């Protein structure tokens, strides 16, 4: 058993070199020039190709049962789509607001993923309230290896956390070295603005963005980082969407020892004109925070390039248009929030970012593999190509060209938010712990072989 990836250009967050990658026992055993394959082992010829670490998506909803609707996703189809796109590790969020406590949430997500996920996966824990009993459960989960918590400032009453509990969670996190991730939008302003718009007869999807404009997100960033700085916690702003929120985060640099910012591929490649399409079609692009202006895209690319933005994820959370997005006909506040992206992220980022001259490939590898691994405690196993790391490898063909379409996507949703986008570059071979999972755009691995990372 073993796998030799021969003759490619190995690219990590730190640099690049021409080298062979020898994988054995699920790990990368050697990275050097001219490795002779022992007889009988599989050789992947990678001449002319890029050899990249398996990508990590730090923010995915493979399973998300919300109060009114459940995302059209499960661990089987989500991880398969991830692998087809070059992502070998996803991080989901245990808890969706309906579970009675952390143990129940954790057990539910473990049960959903076990034997279903085809790539490795981790969980952040969703926290919406805090008391002595819950703290005991948290302590046990931390002892098991939990590294990160997720809180929502928005979505009252289902998900949002109150100020008092927020501070206690941040103090617990600070004392235990956990990262606290936050959805940053003001909880009170959104319903107030929604009400005002609906009362004025503004009911279509194009009014979603005006109901949660950049200042509402910037205020959320300010509040979260103020609390995190006061508690001394590691803070991670999820899915930052716009220049205004990024400038707000910049004001906190130096006030927090650990401040991480995540953006999403949709904020880099789509803008709010999609959500303004007529005949309710705009509902296909409703997510929160909303899609913004084109000028925000450039601000986010600049933040990725200069290091102010640390990670690139998807917030993958697909819905059908028919029967799901349609729940919000006549009332944009009832449109389920979320879009797919786990399959498209790396091709879109490679096309717009690397081929488009906005960020070097090494930087893309850093924000989509190395940094998520370092922030969430996976470094040493995931995030780069080096001896001793898991053999999660993507052989990337920079010359591949294709057009994204719902007709060819792996998910069974009835539309693709990137329909018609022409992308450059594609994963040709994808491995997880040395097993070939994708070859020439086809899933060829053992379904359900993914492992929970703790
Ligand atoms: Mn969110
Ligand atoms: Mn999310």
Q: Which ligand is nearest to the CA of 184?
A: 1
Strand partners, 70: 65
User: How many helical (H) and strand (E) elements, i.e. helices and strands, does the chain have?
Assistant: 13, 17
Least distant ligand from the CA of 160: 1
Ligand nearest to the CA of 57: 2
- Domain housing 310: 55-375
Evaluate if residue 67 carries a pLDDT over 90: no
Q: Nearest ligand, CA of residue 73?
A: 2
Residue 395 resides in a domain: no
The three-class DSSP label of residue 309 is coil
CA of 343 to the centre of ligand 2 (A): 16
The residue-averaged pLDDT of 309-316 equals 98
Asked if the model's pLDDT at residue 1 lies above 90, the reply is: no
Are the C-beta atoms of residues 197 and 206 closer than 8 Å to each other?
A: no
| CA terminus-to-terminus distance, the chain | 26
- pLDDT tens digits for 201-210? 999 999 999 9
CB of 394 closer than 8 Å to CB of 52: yes
Q: What is the pLDDT of residue 452?
A: 98
Domain assignment present for 359: yes
On the question of pLDDT at 39 being above 90, the answer is: no
Cis before 413 (ω within 30): no
pLDDT of 68 strictly over 80: yes
Measure 61 CA to ligand 2 centroid, in angstroms.
Answer: 6
ω before 202 within 30° of 0 (cis)? no
**Which pLDDT score, from 0 to 100, does residue 302 have?**
98
Cβ atoms within 10 Å, residue 313: 25
In the reported structure, the alpha carbon of residue 293 is separated from the centroid of ligand 2 by a whole-number distance in angstroms of 21
Please count the structural domains in the chain.
1
Scanning the structure block, which residue is given the tokens 């248009």? 321
Closest C-alpha among 38, 40, 39, 35 to residue 6 = 35
**The dihedral sign for the CA sequence 4, 6, 8, 10:** positive
Query: Three-state SS for 298?
Result: helix
User: Is the Cβ–Cβ distance between 10 and 51 less than 8 Å?
Assistant: yes
| Cα 316 to middle of ligand 1, angstroms | 10
In a domain, residue 427? The reply is no
Q: pLDDT class for 100, splitting at 50, 70, 90?
A: very high
The DSSP bridge partners found for residue 20 are: 32
Contact call for residues 345 and 359 (beta carbons, < 8 A):
no
The answer to whether residue 421 is domain-embedded is no
**How confident is the model at residue 103, as a pLDDT?**
97
Of the candidates 348, 367, 352, 337, the one whose C-alpha atom is nearest the C-alpha of residue 55 is 367
Q: Are 268 and 239 in contact (CB under 8 A)?
A: no
Is position 249 within any domain? Answer: yes
The alpha carbon of 240 and the centre of ligand 2 are apart by a number of angstroms equal to 11
Residue range 81-90: mean pLDDT, rounded: 98
What pLDDT digit, counting tens, does each position of 151-184 carry?
999 998 889 999 999 999 999 999 999 999 999 9
- CA 238 / ligand 2 centre spacing (Å): 8
CATH number at residue 160: 3.20.20.140
Structural domain includes residue 237:
yes
- Kindly tell me the burial class for residue 27, based on how many C-beta atoms sit within 10 Å of its own C-beta (0-12, 13-18, 19 or more): middle
Pairing of strands 148-152, 120-126: parallel
- Is 21 a domain residue? no
Is 12 inside a domain boundary? no
Contact 79, 121 (CB under 8 A): yes
> How much distance in Å is there from the Cα of 59 to the middle of ligand 2?
6
182 CA distance to ligand 2 middle (Å): 10
* Ligand approaching nearest to the C-alpha of 92: 2
Q: Is the pLDDT of residue 111 over 80?
A: yes
Q: CA-to-CA distance for 370 and 92, rounded, in angstroms?
A: 18
Overall average pLDDT of the 22-42 stretch? 94
* Residues 17/313/270/239 CA torsion (nearest 10 deg): -140
- What span, in angstroms and rounded, lies between the C-alpha atoms of 3 and 391? 9
Region 273-282 average pLDDT: 98
pLDDT at 38: 85
| Nearest-ligand number for the alpha carbon of 217 | 1
Whole-number pLDDT of residue 40: 85
């Amino acid at each position: 058993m073993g796998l030799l990836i021969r003759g490619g250009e190995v690219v990590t967050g730190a640099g690049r070199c021409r080298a062979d990658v020898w994988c054995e026992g699920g790990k990368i055993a050697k990275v050097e020039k001219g490795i002779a394959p022992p007889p009988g082992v599989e050789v992947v010829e990678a001449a002319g190709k890029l050899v990249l670490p398996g990508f990590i998506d730090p923010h995915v909803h493979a399973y998300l049962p919300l109060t009114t609707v459940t995302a059209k996703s499960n661990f089987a189809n989500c991880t398969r789509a991830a692998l087809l796109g070059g992502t070998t590790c996803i991080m989901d969020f245990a808890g969706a607001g309906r579970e009675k406590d952390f143990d129940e949430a954790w057990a539910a997500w473990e049960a959903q993923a076990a034997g279903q996920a085809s790539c490795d996966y981790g969980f952040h824990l969703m926290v919406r309230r805090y008391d002595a009993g819950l703290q005991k459960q948290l302590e046990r989960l931390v002892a098991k290896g939990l590294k990160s918590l997720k809180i929502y400032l928005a979505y009252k009453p289902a998900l949002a956390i109150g100020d008092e509990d927020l501070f206690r969670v941040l103090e617990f996190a600070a004392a235990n070295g956990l990262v606290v991730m936050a959805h940053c939008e003001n909880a009170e302003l959104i319903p107030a603005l929604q009400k005002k718009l609906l009362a004025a007869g503004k009911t279509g999807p194009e009014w979603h963005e005006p109901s949660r404009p950049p200042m509402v997100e910037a205020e959320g960033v300010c509040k979260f980082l103020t609390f995190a700085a006061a508690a001394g916690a590691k803070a991670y702003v999820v899915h930052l969407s716009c220049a205004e929120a990024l400038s707000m985060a910049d004001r906190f640099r130096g006030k927090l020892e650990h401040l991480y910012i995540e953006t999403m591929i949709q904020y880099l490649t789509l803008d709010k004109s999609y959500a303004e399409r007529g005949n309710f079609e705009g509902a296909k692009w409703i997510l929160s925070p909303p899609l913004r202006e084109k000028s925000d895209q450039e601000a986010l690319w600049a933040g990725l390039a200069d290091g102010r933005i640390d990670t690139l994820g998807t917030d993958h959370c697909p819905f059908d248009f028919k029967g799901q997005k349609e729940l919000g006909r006549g009332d944009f506040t009832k449109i389920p929030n979320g879009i797919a992206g786990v399959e498209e992220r790396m091709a879109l980022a490679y096309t717009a970012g690397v081929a488009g001259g906005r960020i070097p490939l090494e930087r893309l590898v850093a924000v989509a593999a190395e940094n998520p691994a370092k922030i969430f405690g996976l470094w040493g196993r995931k995030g780069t190509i080096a001896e001793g790391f898991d053999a999660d490898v993507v052989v990337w063909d920079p010359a591949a060209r294709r057009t994204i379409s719902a007709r060819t996507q792996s998910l069974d949703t009835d539309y693709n938010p990137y329909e018609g986008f022409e992308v450059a570059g594609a994963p040709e071979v994808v491995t997880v712990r040395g097993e070939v999972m994708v070859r020439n755009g086809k899933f060829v691995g053992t379904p359900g072989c993914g492992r929970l990372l703790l």
